[in-house]
Amino acid sequence: MEPHGKIWKLLGEIPDPEIPAINLVELGVVRKIEGEESNLEITITPTYTGCPAKQLFNDLIKEKLEENGYKNFSITSTLYPAWTTDWLSEETKQKLMDEGISPPVAGDRVITCPHCGSTDTKMVSRFGTTPCQSFHTCNSCSEPFNYFKCH
Ligand SMILES: [Zn+2]
C-alpha cells in the first residue's frame, strides 16, 4: 500500500467548497503528505491566490483529520510551484464539464462551451458564480456557463 494511502483517501473525501463535484485531491490542492501517522505534514497549494476558499481548505482538512482521530499534524500552504491547471486529470476536467463549468486552459486562450463544445464563446463578466470563475456565453448554443480561471 502506498504510504499515506489512507490519508490521501480521507482528503479525497473533501469536496471543493466551490465545486462540490470535485474533491481537494482531484483539484490538486493537496500536494504532499509526509511524516508519521502520529505527526503528519500536509502541504497544500491554493488554486488561486485571491481565492477566498484558501482558508477554507485548511479548515476542511483539519476538520477531516480530527474527525478521524488524527491529532498531530501540520498544514503548510505553499505557492511554489504555483497551482496549475495541468494538475487536473482528464477525468477531473470531464467532471467539470458535466457540472457546466468549462475546465481551465493554460493562458485562458480558447474557452470551450461545456454544453456543446463550441469554442465560439464570449466573456460576459470577469466574475462568475465564485471569484475563481468567470461568466461566459456561448455563441453557438446561447447557453451561459462558468469558466474556471487559470492561476
Ligand atoms: Zn455552446
Q: What is the pLDDT of residue 13?
A: 96
Q: What is the DSSP string of the chain?
A: --TTHHHHHHHTTSB-SS-TTSBTTTTT-EEEEEEETTEEEEEE--SSTT-THHHHHHHHHHHHHHHTT---EEEEE--SSPP-GGGS-HHHHHHHHHTTEEPP-GGG-----TTT--S-EEEEES--SSTTEEEEEETTT--EEEEE---
Question: 75 — phi, psi (to 5°)?
Answer: -120, 115
* 67 and 14 Cβ atoms separated by less than 8 Å: no
| Cα-to-centroid distance, 100 and ligand 1 (Å) | 10
| Cα-to-centroid distance, 145 and ligand 1 (Å) | 9
Q: What is the pLDDT of residue 84?
A: 77
Where exactly does CATH 3.30.300.130 map onto the chain? Answer: 5-77
Please identify which residue in the block is written with the cell numbers 494511502: 5
Assigned superfamily of 5-77:
Fe-S cluster assembly (FSCA) (3.30.300.130)
| Cα-to-centroid distance, 110 and ligand 1 (Å) | 13
| Cα-to-centroid distance, 97 and ligand 1 (Å) | 12
| Cα-to-centroid distance, 118 and ligand 1 (Å) | 5
| Cα-to-centroid distance, 126 and ligand 1 (Å) | 19
| Cα-to-centroid distance, 84 and ligand 1 (Å) | 25
pTM for the structure as a whole: 0.78
Q: What is the pLDDT of residue 59?
A: 92
User: pLDDT under 70 in the chain at which residues?
Assistant: 1-2, 48-53, 106-109, 150-151
